[in-house]
Amino acid sequence: MKKYIYFLPITILVGAVLYSLYIVNTTNIMLGAKQYFGITFIVSSIVLGLIRKNLGIYLTGVTLLLGTLNLIAFTPTIESYSFGVSFNDKNGIALKIQPFSFWTLLVFLVVNHKTLLALTRKTSKI
């Protein structure tokens, strides 16, 4: 059981995509480009994880980071919060964060912290 805990975040994402596909098939909601990119990244993470476990874990982390920064999405409706500064609602600098991806990223960091620490040790030796 313990060796499969690494795949908990990708399992959460697969569940979100299956939920999205169910919603699309039963309602009039359509997926957009962000959702299709999210599905592509998830499938790539799974395939790479089957070939090389560590690379699949790293790509899952990148996928979750892109989702947290609102560049890709995993759910049929995209909820995001903006943090930033603007003057008269123009030319502002804002950071948009998706809560679902953020919480899944936190789960990923807790579950895979040893693998990520090993990566930082490898790159610091170079």
In this prediction, residue 108 carries a pLDDT of 93
**Tally of domains within the chain:** 1
In this prediction, residue 116 carries a pLDDT of 78
Q: Torsion angle, CA of 36/40/54/98, rounded to 10 degrees?
A: -10
Kindly state whether residue 101 falls inside one of the protein's structural domains.
yes
Tell me which residue of 39, 35, 6 sits closest to 108, measured CA to CA. 6
Kindly state whether residue 73 falls inside one of the protein's structural domains.
yes
Kindly state whether residue 126 falls inside one of the protein's structural domains.
no
In this prediction, residue 88 carries a pLDDT of 65
In this prediction, residue 14 carries a pLDDT of 93
In this prediction, residue 114 carries a pLDDT of 83
In this prediction, residue 36 carries a pLDDT of 94
Which parts of the chain fold into alpha helices (H)? 8-26, 33-51, 53-68, 99-111, 113-125
Q: Print the domain residue range for 59.
A: 2-82+93-120
Q: Give the residues of the chain that fall short of pLDDT 50.
A: none
In this prediction, residue 111 carries a pLDDT of 92
The residue whose two tokens read 């690379």 is 55
